[in-house]
Every structure is written in structure tokens, then in C-alpha cells.
Structure 1
């Protein structure tokens, strides 16, 4: 049931190759990859790329976002500034499942200098296959949302 569900992908210059591998992987799974770049290896600033992807998710144009930088931390911080975004950095599949199941995360951040391609694809699969559990977790997600500016 993933046909036509769009996923925004963005990164800084350090993570272009891994982002493109993820784009191919999710397209092979039936998701629509909306890869907003960059495509050039020249140094670029991760905050603008995190924000651009977050805006696509927050607007509803994309259901999820996957963003990357060296550690995944900086680009995640930038994305989380956008109202309605719940993005977490994951270095393992368990955490990726949990941010979807318990936190209703709509974005995933990865560090290209932290995880290799094989692990990154496993993390993406865990994130995309998990479902929000609701219940007591919904109350906590609502508490997070009330802190947004």
C-alpha cells in the first residue's frame, strides 16, 4: 500500500551518495522518492536542506521525510524547527521502529559518517514499515505538539 506515497529526501553535500541509494531503495519498494538534492559535491549548509524537506512534510505534500548529514544531528535539529515535524536521528533499526510506533515521527535523520549503506537501508525499512500505536503514546505526542511555537 505504498504506491504514490511521497517521501521527501534531502541532505548536505556529505551525504549525496547515500541519499541517492536510499531514493533508489524506497522507489524499488513502491514509494515515490521526492529527492530535492543537492546534486553537487560543493559544500552546502545542512540547515536549509533540513528545513526544505521538513516544509514538504509539514505541508502534507510528502508523508515522510528522510534527511542526512555527517552525523544526522544538525539537519535533524533544523527540521524539528518546522511546526508539525517530529524527526529523530537513528543509528539502528529498533530506534527507527520506536520513533514511528511511540512518537509518530514523520521524519528520519541519518548520519552518513555514522552508518554505512546496508545499515542505513535497514533503518529506513524499519522506519517505513512501523505504524504509530496511538493510545498512551498519542497523549505524549499531543504534549509535544503543545510545546510548538
Structure 2
């Protein structure tokens, strides 16, 4: 049972190291191997649609649109660099933290809803008859049964 938390912790550390290394190393080569060309073409088409949407909604001007579309025609996509890359990593960790906090909060609320108040008792086991009664159940205790009230009174 303790292997699962260790495995999850190792995965979190591996993800943090991977993201940090990707943030600090230079970008991948511009010409990928032929096996990835199909995926790259699909990515370029998606980037083209995204740029068109930006232009239609007025978020980029015509010169920026032409420059980015020319780069796409040459097979180059601009990747976030510097501050943009840093902010995207911070956003990813923030999102993951918020999801984790939400899941833990939901689990705590579920546990609180399922727990019943009071002591757990087994219905089949008989209650012990030889157990001494608590003083609150028998009434007040006299001084002779309880002993002297203070150490000075007994000497």
C-alpha cells in the first residue's frame, strides 16, 4: 500500500525535472525525422487555423499575421521563449496544484460525510458486565471511598 504514494511522488519529481530541463535547454531541431512529418503537418495546419482565428477576432495585426503565415509556409512554428515559456510552466504547475487541492478537499468532504459520530461498537459482542462503573454513573463518591481530599489532611 505504501508503494503507490512513493510511485506518485517519483512521478511528480520526474515531471518537475523534465519540465525544468525542457525550459532550460535549446529548442529541438527544425527538421524532424520523416516519421514525425505527418504529425508536424497536422500541427502546422492547427497553427494555421489558430492564426486565422486570431486575425479574424482582431487580436493580431495584418503584418504579424503575414509574418507568422510565411513562417508556417516554410514549416516553422514559433515556440514560446523566455518569459512566455516560464509563464506557461508556472501556469501548468498552478493548474495541477489547484486540481490536486480540489481533489483532496472533495475527498475530505466525502470522508467527513461518511463518518458517524461516537464510538464504534460491535452489535454481536455482549457488553462486559464485570467492568467497573464510572463515578458519574454511580453518583457522588464519598471522602472515605476516594481517600483524603488533600495530602495534609491525612497526616
* Range class of TM-score, shorter chain: under 0.3
- The structure that has the greater radius of gyration is 2
- Greater RCO, CA 8 A, separation 6+: 1
Q: Which has the higher strand share?
A: 1
TM-score by length of 1: 0.23
Q: Which has the higher helix share?
A: 2
